[in-house]
Amino acid sequence: MVRFEIFDARELLSFPGGDNSTDTVFGGIHFNLTTLEHWNYTYYSNGTLSNNSRCYLTYEPYQPKLLISNGTFINATKCYSAVDPIGVRGYVGIGFAAVYAIGLMLTLTALAKHGRLYLPKEKRFYPIGRRWQWYWACFVCACALISLFTNIDIDRYHVVELPIIVTSFFWFLICQGTIALVWESVRHWGSWQERQFIDPNPFVYRTDDRRSKVEFYLPLWFYFWTWMNFFLVVPRSWSFVEMQRSPEQTLAKAIPTATGARFKAGAFCLVIAWFTIVFSLRHSIYHYKPRNRGVFNRTLGLVRAIPLRFVLTIPLAGALVAYQTLISFNWTFSVMRYGGVVPVIFAWGYGPSLLIIFVQVAYGFASPNEDKALLAQRRQRGDLIDRELGIVKKPAWWKRVRGDHLLSMRDKISKNVNEVGGKRGLRARFEDEAEREQGDPTTTRNDGIEMNNMSQKNNPRVDRAGVANLNSTEPRRYDGKSERRHNERIVESFAGVLFPNNPSHADAERARRIAEISQDGPPPYRDEERGRSSRQDGANNGQRNGSADTTNSIAAPPQQVRSMLDV
């Protein structure tokens, strides 16, 4: 590919004279002038030899050693080589790069501190939300290191070439990353304030109100303008930056493109993004900080509510945006200018981002991890509740004095089980207590207030023959193997305790009926024809008894129903 270049020279020079009309000398070495003219080589006052396709240095010790008839030089040094000494711009760039490297290491330390989790993840507050500010800080440091280290070769290249392109390209990425860094720090500060409100009361804020909608759409609005700056500035041909090899070339190609409409529009996008940061800070203060009445009190409360780091970082970000806006209109102080004003380029172009990095690092080391801060707030709230309830916690040495720290988990569980009742269940403990009170007459107590005791002197019992023993005080116990019957006896015992005066008590009613049936009386009347029996008094009254005798009903003739009483 043929490259058309104009070098940093006020005028073209004629070839130096040699031994004859077809000879020229560069650095004490003779070359064939006819061959140079045949391949359209031109000699410039900056000591370069070029045919608009190739460029070589002609001064010592970089002059070519031999020229072949096909126009090829042997042992020649190209113009695009770092052969000159490091200039002021290179030395200042090295110093800034070293400081940015320190900032990168400190940023990684702060990221490890604040990015660590001590609480379970929450859908409303993702862990990456508090890490983004540190990610952008690492991005800014990385871009700054690339830009500043390639900045060294801007002065070392004898002819302007690739280093100034790389330096300018990554500087614009530094601007975008710095604005995103400040935005994420402000946005997450508001999120942290909200989290502290929601932790004690999750329903203190609604999730569908205007506040939540603003906080949802505001990041989309900010990143839209930031990425617009990226697409307007970055994806383009950057060859115009190296077109500064002569004043004519600079005026014709470098300045018009560097101050063109795309760079102006990109700077305008960053201005909108910066105002979005300011609005986000005002929104968080309005919703998560105490409100004051009156214009003076509201203004004073707003100033007091702004964290100190935002008092520093937001104006510094504004200064960086102002510098990018300035160089889109004024070429004199531009970072893309070869031989530009070094103090302005580094103090105004690289200084704000560096200061923002160290302000963030200072905040990272001074503030605690948010999960730990939230746990501390929970402990404070718990201590306050304990004081209100009168609960006094035992000191830390209490467990060591009692020897609890020597117990295994199994021993601790066994100890807790024994404290609440040992191995037996609640029903078994009630049963033991009831049997103990039944067997010990000295424990008999009846105060007549709520329940009787478990003494059996008031409850008649029935022996195994089915005869009620009304005078027995021995408790009726079930000695069989039926679990169901055992449970029924327990329920009956508790029912007797809860309802001692109820005439429908099961044991008393059963004993009464058995005693009534067992009384002596006339033999029952037996109807031989119909195969059933009844009591004499019942037959006289025309009533049926409950006999189930069907011995003679099989051989007897079929019954004839005369009325409903025979059914």
What is the SS3 string spanning 204-228?
Answer: CCCCCCHHHHHHHHHHHHHHHHHHH
Q: What is the dihedral of CA 26, 28, 29, 31, to 10 degrees?
A: 50
* pLDDT for the residue numbered 327: 95
Residues 66 and 107 in one domain: no
Interatomic CA distance for residues 281 and 293, integer angstroms: 19
Is the domain of 68 the same as that of 93?
no
Evaluated on CA atoms 147, 150, 156, 159, the torsion sign reads negative
Output the pLDDT for position 528: 52
On whether residue 249 sits in a domain, the answer given is yes
Are 31 and 67 spatial neighbours (Cβ–Cβ below 8 Å)? yes
Domain end call among 344, 367, 390: 367
Q: Do residue 41 and residue 93 come from a single domain? A: no
Q: Is 299 exposed, middle or buried (0-12, 13-18, 19+ CB in 10 A)?
A: exposed
Regarding whether 118 and 46 lie in a shared domain, the answer is no
Q: Which residues contact 532 (CB under 8 A, 6 or more apart)?
A: 526, 547, 549, 550, 553
In a domain, 32, yes or no: yes
Question: Are 46 and 109 members of one domain?
Answer: no
Final residue in a domain of this structure, among 346, 367, 388: 367
Give dist(CA 89, CA 338) in Å, integer: 10
Does residue 436 share a domain with residue 341? no
Q: Can you give the pLDDT at residue 424?
A: 53
Query: Is residue 528, in this structure, part of any structural domain at all?
Result: no
The H-or-E segment that residue 358 falls in is helix 351-366
Angle between helices 351-366 and 162-198 (to 10 degrees): 30
Give the length of the chain.
Answer: 567
Q: For 155, list phi and psi in degrees, rounded to 5.
A: -80, -25
The angle that helices 351-366 and 127-156 make with each other, rounded to 10 degrees, is 150
Neighbours of 417 (CB within 10 A): 11
- For residue 558, the model assigns a pLDDT of 57
299 belongs to a structural domain:
yes
Q: Are residues 92 and 20 in the same domain?
A: no
For residue 382, being part of any structural domain is answered with no
- Angle between helix axes 483-498 and 506-517 (nearest 10 degrees) is 100
Last residue of a domain, one of 328, 351, 367: 367
For residues 182 and 314, the answer to whether their CB atoms sit within 8 Å is: yes
Burial zone of 193 (CB within 10 Å; 0-12 exposed, 13-18 middle, 19+ buried) = middle
Query: 434 and 296 share a domain?
Result: no
Predicted pLDDT of residue 235: 92
Q: Strand 42-44's sheet: what is its strand order?
A: 12-13, 42-44, 48-50, 55-57
Tell me how far apart the alpha carbons of residues 64 and 82 are, in angstroms, rounded to a whole number. 17
CATH number of residue 351's parent domain? 1.20.1070
Please tell me whether residues 204 and 251 are part of one structural domain.
yes
Supply the pLDDT for residue 241.
93
Per the CB < 8 A criterion, the answer to whether 174 and 147 are in contact is: yes
Cβ pair 143, 97 in contact under 8 A:
no
Question: How far is the C-alpha of 437 from the C-alpha of 449, rounded, in Å?
Answer: 18
124 and 49, same domain (yes or no) = no
State the DSSP code for 349.
I
Contact present, 361 and 107 (Cβ < 8 Å)? yes
Q: Which residues contact 264 (CB under 8 A, 6 or more apart)?
A: 325, 328, 329
Residue type for 137, please?
A: A
Domain shared by 53 and 103, yes or no: no
pLDDT of residue 505: 55
Residue 31: helix, strand or coil by DSSP? strand
Residue 323 and residue 320: Cα distance in Å, rounded? 5
Number of domains in the chain: 3
In a shared domain, residues 67 and 92: no
10-residue mean pLDDT profile of the chain (567 residues): values are 40 73 81 83 82 82 83 84 88 95 96 92 86 96 95 88 93 96 95 90 85 93 96 93 87 92 95 96 89 80 89 96 95 92 94 96 94 92 87 80 80 79 54 58 45 45 45 53 75 67 58 66 51 44 46 52 49
- Inter-axis angle of helices 308-327 and 351-366, to 10 degrees? 160
User: Which residues form the domain of 42?
Assistant: 12-74
Task: Give the Cα separation of 431 and 478 in Å (integer).
Answer: 13
Q: Is 551 part of a structural domain of the chain?
A: no
| 288: in domain | yes
Structural domain includes residue 385 = no
> Backbone phi, then psi, for 268, in 5-degree steps?
-65, -40
Largest CA distance in the chain: 171
